[in-house]
Amino acid sequence: METMILNFIFFGLIITASGQRRATVSVNSGNVVPVNRGNVMPGPFHWTNGEGEPVEQEEVIELQVERADAIDIPDPIHWTYGEGELGPSHWSTLFPEQCAANSESPIDINTYRTIYDASLKKFAIFYDPPLPVARFAIHNNGHSVEVHTDSGQFYLSNGGMRHLYKIDQFHFHWGDTSHVGSEHTINGHPAPLEMHIVGWNKDIYRTLKEASTKPSGLHVFAVLFQISPFDNPELQPIIRVLPRVIDPDIPVSVKIPATPIQNLLPKHPDRYFRYSGSLTTPRCYTSVIWTVFEQTQYISERQLNYFRQMLLHDDHSREQVWPTQGLRKHMINNFRPVQPLNGRQVFRSF
């Protein structure tokens, strides 16, 4: 896909969020915006409260209670992040066809051994900022906090990739303390939080499920976070609703207005590492083109503690060794340890 032409229709509308605020959404009129290789689309619209002031977008649009199997298709083989026989050190035995491959993720990125690749140019993300109808649907899948972005029609291209990827969801990995948490490590150092933005190859495959087992079927952005004394306002709309999805045994999905994907990335997203790897959860398919950003985003300890309050499935709690909240266990240290490179080369864009 060399060039894609996107049409925007001019309209003004009033939406009511939580029945309290009225917001107008302005869309730049009639623009035909070409998205060229290496360009990220400029923002086509903004949110105001009708008096020119920006609207807080963290209001809950919808709180849906769904059947668990409508959200996640559970694998018949259970797995956990614990130290027991269902934990990461046993995944290669539990899933020998997939989790024992020789190009597994995550990895430690030794930056001194990376090689510059001139083809690793900027990414193009669209629609970003999102369409007015776009929603983030947030739920606890028992292993992570997952934010579905499907309604946002977010697409990703360029960045040294030959295909168009549709972003399906993003989710997080974190620790019980800020000394651990991330899956990827840089020069041996973990980060307190890692966000994965998962896209699937829409050029070649028909569904996410089909793409997830195939070569170059998936692309994942990995964003590492560092601790800041300040809250990250871009994360706050999501963090604010985490108490509503704390228990994975109560299958609730909370919808909020989507926010720009670009705002979740580090300041210079053109500086990244690239390698071929796998999903970091069973079934660990080696279908992933990984983009690990060189720079970090930031989060406060206060915000991280919301993630650490999330609960595991009750039936997954028994073999976990984590601290308890009553009889239930917290979802913490939900990261897979780094895997051997096995001769793979990591490239860099800068």
| Pairwise CA distance, residues 302 & 113, whole Å | 36
Closer Cβ to Zn ion, 196 or 219, answer by number: 196
Residues 187-226 that bind Zn ion (CB under 5 A): 196
| Per-residue contact string for residues 146-185; x = within reach of Zn ion by CB under 5 A | ----------------------------------------
| Per-residue contact string for residues 298-327; x = within reach of Zn ion by CB under 5 A | ------------------------------
Q: 37 and 124 in contact (C-beta within 8 Å)?
A: yes
| β-strand pairing of 272-277 with 218-228 | unpaired
Please report how close the Cβ of residue 133 comes to Zn ion at its closest, in angstroms: 27
Closer Cβ to Zn ion, 105 or 158, answer by number: 105
For 143-146, which contacts have Cβ atoms below 8 Å and span 24 or more sequence positions? 143/81, 143/281, 143/331, 143/334, 144/171, 144/172, 144/173, 144/331, 144/334, 145/171, 145/172, 145/238, 145/242, 145/245, 145/307, 145/310, 146/170, 146/171
Residue, CB closest to Zn ion: 196
Closer Cβ to Zn ion, 163 or 196, answer by number: 196
Residues 77-116 that bind Zn ion (CB under 5 A): none
3-state secondary structure of 88: helix
| Catalytic-labelled residue, pool 139, 143, 184, 330 | 143
Q: 284 and 114 in contact (C-beta within 8 Å)?
A: no
Closer Cβ to Zn ion, 40 or 218, answer by number: 218
Q: 208 and 200 in contact (C-beta within 8 Å)?
A: yes
Instruction: Give the count of residues interacting with Zn ion (CB under 5 A).
Output: 1
User: Is the bond into 285 cis (omega within 30 degrees of 0)?
Assistant: no
Please report how close the Cβ of residue 280 comes to Zn ion at its closest, in angstroms: 5
179 annotated active-site: no
Please report how close the Cβ of residue 61 comes to Zn ion at its closest, in angstroms: 25
Please report how close the Cβ of residue 212 comes to Zn ion at its closest, in angstroms: 13
* Residues recognised as catalytic: 143
Q: Which residues bind Zn ion (CB under 5 A)?
A: 196
